[in-house]
Structure formats: structure tokens, C-alpha cells
Amino acid sequence: MVTKSCTLDRLSVRADEDSVVSDAGLLVAATLAQRLDLAGLLREHVTVPGSVGAHPDRKCLTVVHSLLAGGDCIDDVNALRAGSTSAVLGHRVAAPSTVGTFLRAFGFGHARQLDVVTRRLLTRAVTAGAHPQFGRSVTVDIDSTLCETFGLAKDGAREVMRTGRRGYHPLLAVISGTGDIAHARLRRGRSNDATAAPLFINETISRLRQAGATGQIVLRADSGFYLHDVVAACRAADVRFSIGARMIGHLRGQIEAIPDEQWQPIEYFLPGAGVAEIPYTPFAQDTHGRDRTDTVPLRLMVRRTPPTQAQVRNRGQDTDQAALFPVYDYHPIITDRDGDLRDLEADHRRHAEVELTIRDLKHGMGLAHLPTKSFGGNAAWLILNTIAHNLTRWITRLGFDQGHRMTKNIRRRVFNLAGRLVRTGRRTTLRLPSRWPWAHAIITAIKRLRDLPAATG
């Protein structure tokens, strides 16, 4: 039984403290953004016309820091205006109405200006040491995702998608092993998986080269990008590729004709899985049936997997019969890479890591929905989400010397930590809780980020 003296009713509550910083850990993110001169890049490249475009750095950084703190809509920037939070951000926090008006003023060309910012920001992050592997080979995963919206007011999302829902269909390029987003592009919901993919791939490769990727670049993608133009774009950019193939034409017959002795067993969650390869020339003819002159033979890797018990039941087979006469599932992949078949097939399966980044954007950042009616404003919202996402990844490596961490993990331990500003004479001190388990790591991270050289170029 709780005594009267211990009840929460006796706790007095007042809202009269101006020195409290509700998300004091944002100082870590703001410090890295300052070392990379993100504000300077925004002022230089973002030129939304009229008075609404004044101080684009403040408005964009307000959105970025709100996303880092856990905001997922425009109104959530109000949380940064409480207490003295702006003191750890390094800029004046814009009001929600200002941010909304600013985003709605974006055209698609203004969103492309933000693309220039992210291109140069990636180069500066690599220079700061965020990607030491860039001197060797780099693998980039290309994928698309569906961002559902509701209602008919959003430009580019009014039509029903193939899934029966409305929304947008952005393209993402994710650097393997890091979760960093090299490039992102918003598309209307009715776009196919590979709509504008060749141009997107060209720009992604250009970004990686500009950022310092001097070694071999490998591109991985699923069967949604199984197109002649995608392969041609990779070959033109001197990029190796590994792309899931579609089971069309006579391909299934060729795969089923592979002798059993050519199948090599692999480590897989389904016992009995194996891989084999055959020479194959994809896209030998165009859509009109004419022979192409620019096609070359490639390696066709095939993974076959036995059916699960659920698939056996769905097919109406007896379990013993299925064991004697299994109907395999086949997963073909085209590649121009050299190396051991099993190693290459296992590496292609790691393309699934891109889904972790998409999950982090939707459930860790604010990409669960797009907030404005303007297509350009929503395109800008996507890019600002990728900036916030990348800052979190770079902070983890440069500040905390750790590998991959989910955004929610860093937010709980770092960004959402409360503090208090204390001013004595000419010195201002941010005081953190004395028994916070990760306080020492946060202070160490701030020192490391402050020691980074100032960004140039």
C-alpha cells in the first residue's frame, strides 16, 4: 500500500525553467554538421525565391534536428523551441508555420539543389574519415520503396499504385556495410521499380567517384531493375553488377535442364539449397524483337531452394511425395563479376541489408509519411531525412567509434538526453545528468568531433 506522503499528488509541477535543454544530445549532431559546414552548403546552393527562401540553412537544419530528435511531422519542430535547446543547435529554430511555407515553396528544381548539398556533404564526410573503405572496393545497393499517403491532395500521389494504395515510390542508393545513403530521388507513386533508374545509377556512381571511391564499385539490385538500360549504365560507368533476373522467356527451361551434379550445396536456412551457373546473354533482343548489337554473355547464377512445408501444403502435395519429387524455387542472378560462385551468390543475398536502411528511414526518421501537398516539398523532405540519417551514421563512427546502430538506439542514448545550461561570467556550460550511463561516451564523442578539421571544398 502506498502511503499518502509517497503519492505523486504531493509533487509540485511548474513550467518556469528557461535554461533546460530537452534534447541536449543534439549538440553531438550539431557539432558534426558544423565541422562539415552543412549550413554553408545550404546557404550556397538552396535558392528558394522570395522572402520565404531567406535563411534556408536555418529552416533546413530545423527540420534535420527535429527529425533527429524524433519528430516526424512539421509541427514537431516546436519541441526545439522550448527552453534553451537552440543554444546547442548553433542556429535559430524556425517556427512550424515558417517551415511549412518554406517546404511548400519548393519546386522539383529546388529539391535538386538539395541533391548538390548531399553530394558535397558525402565528399566532406569521406574526407573526415567516415568511409575509410573508399580507397578499396565499394558496394552500393539500389532499391525502391513505397511511402503510403492518404487523401487526394498530394501532388504525384493521387493515383492508386499497383498495391491498391496511394503514395510515392522513391529510389534509394545505400552504401553496403554502413547504411549510409549515397543518393535518393522521389518519384510519383505510379512509377515502376526501375523508372529513371539508369540516370539515378549514373548520378550515384558520379557521387561515389567524386567522394573518393577510387577502387572497384559493385552495384547490387533485385529483379525490379532487370533492364537492358540498367546493365548498359553499369557497363558505361565501369561498374561491376549483380542483378536479380526475371524468369521470362525460355530461362526457366534452361535452368531446369542444369544437371544435378552441377548444383553446389550452400549454407542456407533451408536444407538442400544449392547454386549453379550457366552462360547467358540477357536482353539479346529489344522489345520489338530485333537483335541488339551491344549485348555480351554474362554469368547467370541460380540459387535453388526446396519448398517449405507450407508451400508443399499449398501445392496439395503429400510430404513424402514432395521429398521424392521436390519442386524447387529458382532465384536467377546476372553478374559480370569474377570469383567463386558460392561467394558471389552469398554476397548478392546481402543486398537485403538495404531493407534495414529503409526501415530506419520510415520508423527511425520521418519518412513514414510525406507532409506537404507539394511534390517538390516532399522531395525536399525525403532528402532532409537522408541528411539526418547520414549524420547519425557518421556520428556513430567518427564520434563513438562504433559500427552500425539503429537510429532509435542513438536517439535514446544521445539525442534525447536532457541537460541544463549554466552561465557563469563569460562561460556557458551544458550540464548533463551525473549518472547517465553514456555520459562519458557523449563527452568523448563531442571532443573527437571538435578535433575534426574544418571542411573545405
pLDDT (0 to 100) of residue 173:
98
CA nearest 74: which of 90, 98, 58? 98
pLDDT (0 to 100) of residue 5:
56
pLDDT for residue 321 is more than 80 = no
The x, y and z cell numbers of residue 366, run together, are: 520521418
pLDDT (0 to 100) of residue 454:
86
pLDDT for residue 179 is more than 90 = yes
Task: Give how far the C-alpha of residue 6 lies from the chain's centroid of Cα atoms, to the nearest Å.
Answer: 48
The x, y and z cell numbers of residue 293, run together, are: 548489337
Give the pLDDT mean for 151-172: 89
pLDDT for residue 424 is more than 70 = yes
Beta bridge partners of 210: none
Q: Are 198 and 212 in contact (CB under 8 A)?
A: no
pLDDT (0 to 100) of residue 246:
92
Minimum mean pLDDT range among 152-161, 228-237, 366-375 = 152-161
Q: ∠244-175-148 over CA atoms, to 5°?
A: 70
pLDDT class of 422 with cuts at 50, 70, 90: very high
Q: What is the pTM of this model?
A: 0.92
Q: Give the N- to C-terminal CA distance of the chain in Å, as an integer.
A: 66
Long-range CB contacts for residues 322-327, cutoff 8 Å, separation at least 24? 326/272
Average pLDDT, the chain: 90
More confident: 317 or 401:
401
pLDDT class of 150 with cuts at 50, 70, 90: confident
Highest averaged pLDDT of the listed ranges 162-171, 196-205, 324-333, 423-432: 196-205
Minimum mean pLDDT range among 161-170, 222-231, 393-402 = 161-170
Give the pLDDT mean for 176-205: 94
E strand or H helix at 312, and its extent? helix 309-314
Q: How far apart are CA 220 and CA 201, in angstroms?
A: 11
More confident: 318 or 330:
330
Residues 6+ apart with CB under 8 A from 120: 41, 457
What SS3 string covers 170-190? CEEEEECCCCCEEEEECCECC
pLDDT (0 to 100) of residue 165:
86
pLDDT (0 to 100) of residue 15:
87
pLDDT (0 to 100) of residue 161:
81
pLDDT class of 309 with cuts at 50, 70, 90: low
pLDDT (0 to 100) of residue 135:
75
pLDDT (0 to 100) of residue 277:
94
10-68 confidence digits (pLDDT tens): 888 888 888 889 999 999 999 999 999 999 999 999 999 888 889 999 999 999 999 99
How much of the chain exceeds pLDDT 70, in percent? 94
Q: What are phi and psi of 420, to 5 degrees?
A: -140, 135
The x, y and z cell numbers of residue 182, run together, are: 549515397
pLDDT for residue 318 is more than 60 = no
264-301 confidence digits (pLDDT tens): 999 988 888 899 999 999 988 777 677 777 788 899 99
99-118 confidence digits (pLDDT tens): 999 999 999 999 999 999 99
How much of the chain exceeds pLDDT 90, in percent? 70
